[in-house]
Structure 1
């Protein structure tokens, strides 16, 4: 199990969670952030600092955002485990489900 970032993060990319993560497992895509399932140590430090409440423990992702669980896993399929987001920097793509979402123009 891991933590999952869901819909409220799309097109927001606040990054407060990145600063709080002790193992550097939160990666930046074009439209949202993703938690690497193999690098996350389930500490939960990221969850309370997210200003849009987009981070959930995998079993607790709300039903309307369940597709973001697969999106978080898909994002890392071709990448493997690079051993930290700081080494990689921004990744110029998103999971296909996220890329297909309409622009999030809501004020958060």
Structure 2
């Protein structure tokens, strides 16, 4: 999974990242946005435009936000 959206996005939904994504990999969930790991091309376009700094490369997700890696993966298993 190239990029992960973490807790600062919960309830935010500004959608700057959605508009920036060149492959439409970011989808709206009930509480936040999620990045489809099968569609993401690892371009990083979404990361700098996030107004709440919620997007991280998977390897750089803060320790206290690691559960969002699985939460993101689970969202696309539905």
TM-score by length of structure 2 reads 0.97
Structure 2 match to 1:19 = 19
Let me know the Cα RMSD of the aligned residues: 0.6
Structure 1 Cα separation of the partners of residues 3 and 29 of structure 2: 16
Match in the other structure for 1:45: 45
2:52 corresponds to 1:64: no
Larger RCO of the pair (alpha carbons < 8 Å, separation 6+): 2
Q: What is the TM-score when the length of structure 1 is the normalising length? A: 0.71
Q: Number of residues paired by the alignment?
A: 78
Structure with greater proportional strand content: 2
Q: Distance in 1 between matches of 2:19 and 2:38?
A: 19
Q: Where does structure 2 lack aligned partners over 5 or more consecutive residues?
A: none
Name segments (4+ residues, structure 1) moved above 2 Å: none
1:30 — aligned with what?
30
Runs (5+) with no aligned partner, structure 1: 79-108
